[in-house]
Amino acid sequence: MRRTLAAAVREAVRGGRLAPGTRLPSSRRLAAELGLARNTVADAYGDLVAEGWLTARRGSGTLVADRADRADRIDGTGRAGARPIVSRPAAGPSRTPRHDLIPGNPDLSAFPRAAWLAAARRALTTAPDDALGYGDPRGRPELRTALADHLARARGVYVSPEHVLICAGVSHGLRILGRVLAGRGARSVAVESYRLDRQYGLLEAAGLETLPLPLDTHGTDPVPPAGTDAVLLTPAHQFPVGTALRRDRRTAVVDWAGRTGGLVLEDDRDGEFRFGHRSVGALQALAPDRVVYLGTAGQTLAPGLRLAWMALPPALAGEAVAAKGRIDSSEVVSQLTMAEFIASGAYGRHVRAVRRRYRDRRDSLVTALARHAPQVRVLGVAGGLHAVLGLPPGTERPVLESATREGLRVAGLSRYRHERALNGVTDALVVGYGVPTDAQWPQALSALMRILS
Amino acid sequence: MRRTLAAAVREAVRGGRLAPGTRLPSSRRLAAELGLARNTVADAYGDLVAEGWLTARRGSGTLVADRADRADRIDGTGRAGARPIVSRPAAGPSRTPRHDLIPGNPDLSAFPRAAWLAAARRALTTAPDDALGYGDPRGRPELRTALADHLARARGVYVSPEHVLICAGVSHGLRILGRVLAGRGARSVAVESYRLDRQYGLLEAAGLETLPLPLDTHGTDPVPPAGTDAVLLTPAHQFPVGTALRRDRRTAVVDWAGRTGGLVLEDDRDGEFRFGHRSVGALQALAPDRVVYLGTAGQTLAPGLRLAWMALPPALAGEAVAAKGRIDSSEVVSQLTMAEFIASGAYGRHVRAVRRRYRDRRDSLVTALARHAPQVRVLGVAGGLHAVLGLPPGTERPVLESATREGLRVAGLSRYRHERALNGVTDALVVGYGVPTDAQWPQALSALMRILS
The partner residues of A233 in beta bridges, in order of sequence, read A266
B33 pLDDT higher than 90: no
Percentage, residues of chain A above pLDDT 70: 90
Output the 3-class SS for chain B: CHHHHHHHHHHHHHCCCCCCCCECCCHHHHHHHHCCCHHHHHHHHHHHHHHCCEEEECCCEEEECCHHHHHHHHHHHCCHHHCCCCCCCCCCCCCCCCEECCCCCCCHHHCCHHHHHHHHHHHHHHCCHHHHCCCCCCCCHHHHHHHHHHHHHHHCCCCCHHHEEEECCHHHHHHHHHHHHHHCCCCEEEECCECCHHHHHHHHHCCCEEEECCEECCEECCCCCCCCCEEEECCCCCCCCCCCCCHHHHHHHHHHHHHHCCEEEEECCCCCCECCCCCCCCHHHHCCCCEEEEEECCCCCCHHHCCEEEECCHHHHHHHHHHHCCCCCCCHHHHHHHHHHHHCCHHHHHHHHHHHHHHHHHHHHHHHHHHHCCCCEEECCCECCEEEEEECCCCHHHHHHHHHHCCEECEEHHHHECCCCCCCCCEEEEEECCCCCCCCHHHHHHHHHHHHC
- The pLDDT, as a whole number, for residue B82 is 31
Decide which of A2 and B345 is more confident. Answer: B345
Of B78, B84, B109, the CB nearest to A142: B84
Which residues in chain B have Cβ-Cβ distances shorter than 8 Å to A313? none
pLDDT at A445: 95
Average pLDDT score, chain B: 87
The pTM score is 0.80
Tell whether the model's pLDDT for residue A94 goes beyond 50: no
Q: How many CB pairs under 8 A join A and B?
A: 201
Task: Name every chain B residue with its beta carbon within 8 A of the beta carbon of A87.
Answer: 130
User: Which of A2, A5, A47, A121 should we substitute to test contact with B (largest number of B Cβ atoms within 10 Å)?
Assistant: A121
Confirm or reject CATH 3.90.1750.10 for domain B1-85, answering yes or no: no
The residue-averaged pLDDT of B34-50 equals: 79
pLDDT at residue A97, as a whole number? 78
Q: What is the pLDDT of residue A277?
A: 66
Answer whether A128 sits within 8 Å of B85, measured CB to CB: yes
Q: What is the pLDDT of residues B113-170, one digit of tens each?
A: 999 999 999 999 999 999 999 888 999 999 999 999 999 999 999 999 999 999 999 9
Distance CA A249, CA A195 (A): 18
- Considering only CB atoms, A74 lies closest to which of B50, B113, B343, namely B343
B117, B132, B437: residue with CB nearest A111: B132
If you average pLDDT over every residue of chain A, what do you get?
A: 87
pLDDT at B124: 95
Closest chain A residue to the Cα of B112, Cα to Cα:
A124
In chain A, which residues have their Cβ closer than 8 Å to the Cβ of B117? 117, 120-121, 124
* Residue A55: closest CA among A89, A91, A19: A89
Query: Contacts of residue A47 in chain B, CB cutoff 8 Å?
Result: 162
How large is the average pLDDT for residues A253-270? 96
Of A46-50, A101-105, A428-432, B155-159, where does mean pLDDT reach its minimum? A46-50
Tens digit of pLDDT for each residue in A364-392?
A: 999 999 999 999 999 888 888 999 999 99
CB contact under 8 A, A50 and B132: no
CA gap B399, B397 in Å, rounded = 5
pLDDT at B360 over 80: yes
Q: Is B232 in contact with B189 (CB distance < 8 Å)? A: yes
- Closest by alpha carbon to B171, among B318, B39, B306? B306
Q: Name the residue facing B122 among A10, A76, A105 (closest C-beta).
A: A76
What confidence tier does B58 reach under pLDDT thresholds 50, 70, 90? Answer: low
Which pLDDT value is given to residue B403? Answer: 94
Residue B315 has pLDDT above 80, yes or no: yes
- Confidence class for position B429, pLDDT limits 50, 70, 90: very high
Contacting residues of B for A130, CB less than 8 Å apart: 86-87, 108
Q: Where in chain A is the domain with CATH 1.10.10.10?
A: 1-85
For the segment B189-195, the average pLDDT, to the nearest whole number, is 93
Query: Higher confidence at residue A253 or residue B24?
Result: A253
* List of chain B residues whose C-beta atoms are within 8 Å of the C-beta of residue A333: 116, 120, 304-305, 333-334
Residue A86: is its pLDDT beyond 70?
A: no
Mutation choice for A interface testing from B199, B333, B385 by most A CBs within 10 A: B333
pLDDT-derived band at A134, boundaries 50, 70, 90: confident
Which residue ranges does chain B devote to CATH 3.40.640.10? 113-347
pLDDT, tens digit (0-9, with 9 covering 90-100), for A389-442: 999 999 999 999 999 999 999 999 999 998 888 777 789 999 999 999 999 999
A15-29, B368-382, B422-436: least confident range:
A15-29
The partner residue sitting opposite B74, judged by closest CB among A108, A135, A343, is A343
Nearest CB neighbour to A47, from listed B47, B117, B162: B162
User: Nearest 5°: phi and psi at B186?
Assistant: -65, 150
Axis crossing angle, helix A113-126 with helix A346-372, rounded to the nearest 10: 160
pLDDT at B106 over 90: yes
For A49-53, A240-244, B52-56, which range has the lowest pLDDT when averaged over its residues? A49-53
Q: Give the tens place of pLDDT for each residue, A160-218.
A: 999 999 999 999 999 999 999 999 999 999 999 998 877 888 899 999 999 999 988 88
Does the pLDDT value for residue A4 go beyond 80?
no
Q: Which residue in chain B is spatially nearest to A125 when comparing CA positions?
A: B78
Give percent above pLDDT 90 in chain A. 65
Cβ neighbours around A316 below 10 Å, total: 21
Exposed e or buried b for every residue in B24-35, given b needs 16+ CB within 10 A? bebbeebbeeee
pLDDT at position A33 over 60: yes
Q: How far apart are CA A271 and CA A257, in angstroms?
A: 22
Burial B311-340 (b: 16+ CB within 10 A, else e): bbbeebbebbbebbebbbbbbbbbbbbbbb
What is the Cα–Cα distance from B84 to B346, expressed in whole angstroms?
Answer: 28
Query: Which helix (H) or strand (E) element contains residue A292?
Result: strand A291-296
Of the partner residues B6, B160, B305, the one whose CB lies closest to the CB of residue A333:
B305
Chain B residues in contact with A136 by the CB 8 A cut-off are 50
Q: Which sign, positive or negative, has the C-alpha torsion A104, A107, A113, A115?
A: negative
Are the beta carbons of A74 and B141 separated by less than 8 Å?
no
Confidence of residue B47 (pLDDT cuts 50, 70, 90): confident
Q: Is A288 helix (H, G, I), strand (E, B) or coil?
A: coil
Q: Quote the ipTM score.
A: 0.79
Looking at residue B160, what is its pLDDT? 96
Topology at the third CATH level for domain A113-347? Aspartate Aminotransferase; domain 2 (3.40.640)
- Which pLDDT tens digit goes with each residue over B155-174? 999 999 999 999 999 999 99
Chain A neighbors of B115, CB-CB under 8 A: none
